[in-house]
Amino acid sequence: MSKIVVVTGGVVSSLGKGIAAASLGLLLKSRGFRVTIQKLDPYLNIDPGTMSPFQHGEVFVTDDGAETDLDLGHYERFTNASLTRSHNVTAGQVYDSILSRERRGDYLGRTVQVIPHVTDEIKKRILGLGLATEADVLIVEIGGTVGDIESLPFLEAVRQLKLEHRREVVFVHVTLVPFIKAAGEVKTKPTQHSVKELREIGIQADILLCRSEVALDSEVREKIALFCNVPTEAVIAATDVKSIYEVPLVFHEGGLDDLVVEMLGLPDKGVMPPDLSAWQSFEARVTRPRRQCEIAIVGKYTHVRDAYKSVIEALVHAGSANDARVHLRWVESSEVEARGAAAVLGDVDGILVPGGFGERGIEGKVAAVRHARETGVPFFGLCLGMQVATIEFARSVVGWADANSSEFDPQSEHKVIDLLADQANVTDKGGTMRLGAYRCALRAGSLAARAYGRPEIEERHRHRYELNNKYAQQLTSRGLVLSGKCVGRELIEIVELPDHPWFLAVQFHPELKSRPQDPHPLFRDFVRAALERRVARVGDDNYDSAVERVVEKAEA
């Protein structure tokens, strides 16, 4: 079986368990081990697909069409792997599977209970993934915070795994060591209580990752070790950093990967220390860039940045590829409706309209597209961004003033965005979605084909409505280039404008496949166009940390 590292969190949520799991995966993979990562989510939804972005943030879609937790995005980006639906397990999935078997009579009349039936199902999914992937190490992150009632079955399941496979399982606990400014010192009591609560469940943490604003001195680490029953070297500082991409380097310096290798008895694969040179080079470009530009993200959920997590990271990767810092200006689309596009977007170097669902704020997005098209600002549309770009072109260039999507105006005469015929009578929301990876053929010589450098691509989708082929000929006759089509189906995937500095919109989600050391080509070229726009606009794109401080203050 695979060796298992269980990552839990205590005190408060959002301590960075996902980044910690992903960082450990990167370190172990850099040492030559086969690594995979699984997220166990305690909520009762089957998946986050129908959850509001305000509640859950981004839905990360895998190649096989699973709608999963955004932490899987971190896992993929840090370990450069493509994950599947088996890598995200929810309590809803577990209970759904058990109750379906109970209704079929599979339990032969026995009482169905949390122990052993629920815990056995959880263990089966953990061990099954290790066998399927043939991983040397399976990292399992348990969502939520120790003490939450929802997490108890998952914690009990991994407690049993430790009992059954004592030398094959290590527990890593992420906790908080707050710095109290009034007292001028850090406080270890929250960590002590968190570890105590974990021990009451029957789990002894092997390694502590202590989140803190300030560095932890040896005295503090020794105190934590004593009260939490771990060796001092197993108390590792997780000090706040400027970029999440610094975290693996901080953990390596703290000895995390060495400890895990030793505790699990993993064989030396010959990479000692791990080769992190490429990652260090990438991190240096992220934190110490030479150039800069500012891109506006015109969205509907901009108050919840996690709703656009993969978009943010794809722009970081693209900025690194261009040795630049991409400053993000968060623009709520309703603000564009209220104040006008020129007032809100007149001084940015690029405009990106991301995905989303629902009618709210659509006219602001349409106005943002029109501003980009008419003023020559580089424009990039993602999913809904492609749909509103098509709507804007149909209205402003073709002349169909009522052009719209049937999602927003079912009575429109020119529904340039519409459901497919076989979707019309489906009542299950998820049943009408196009999810996962689809192949796309690119038009030779197009902006998209030049960016990708090949005639055919494969990208991940998450949407319900499509460009209506009924209007394709009229749109192209007025200058809209349909530069990407789904292989095997008459579905338009990419639109662009040839007489614009950089104007391209896609039906899929390219941000999901961007990687730190392999930036997505469309994001890379979009940022390059924004940098060129900045030089033309202000005569300079040199990085100025003072500008960053002003932008960060405005964002805050």
**Residues involved in catalysis:** 383, 509, 511
- Rg (C-alpha) for the chain, rounded Å, is 25
Beta strands in 63-116 (DSSP E): 67-68, 88-90
Which token pair is 489? 């189906």
Beta strands in 231-283 (DSSP E): 235-239
H-helix or E-strand containing 190? Answer: helix 189-201
Residue closest to 263 by CA, chosen among 223, 234, 238, 236: 234
Beta strands in 32-147 (DSSP E): 35-41, 60-61, 67-68, 88-90, 137-142
Beta strands in 167-290 (DSSP E): 169-176, 179-180, 185-186, 207-212, 235-239
Which token pair is 421? 């015929």
Residue closest to 49 by CA, chosen among 418, 381, 435: 435
Which token pair is 39? 């997220």
3-state SS track over 322-337: CCEEEEEEEEEHHHHH
* DSSP letter (8 states) at residue 157: H
Which token pair is 546? 């003072």
Q: Which residues contact 249 (CB under 8 A, 6 or more apart)?
A: 276, 279, 280, 283
First to last CA, the chain: 47
Which token pair is 299? 């969205």
Residue 139 identity (one-letter amino acid): I
Q: How far is CA 359 from the centre of its chain?
A: 24
* Rounded Cα distance, 282 and 257, in Å: 20
Which token pair is 423? 């979707």
Q: Give me the sign of the Cα torsion angle 266, 251, 271, 234.
A: negative
436 dihedral zone (left: phi>0; alpha: psi -120 to 50; beta): left
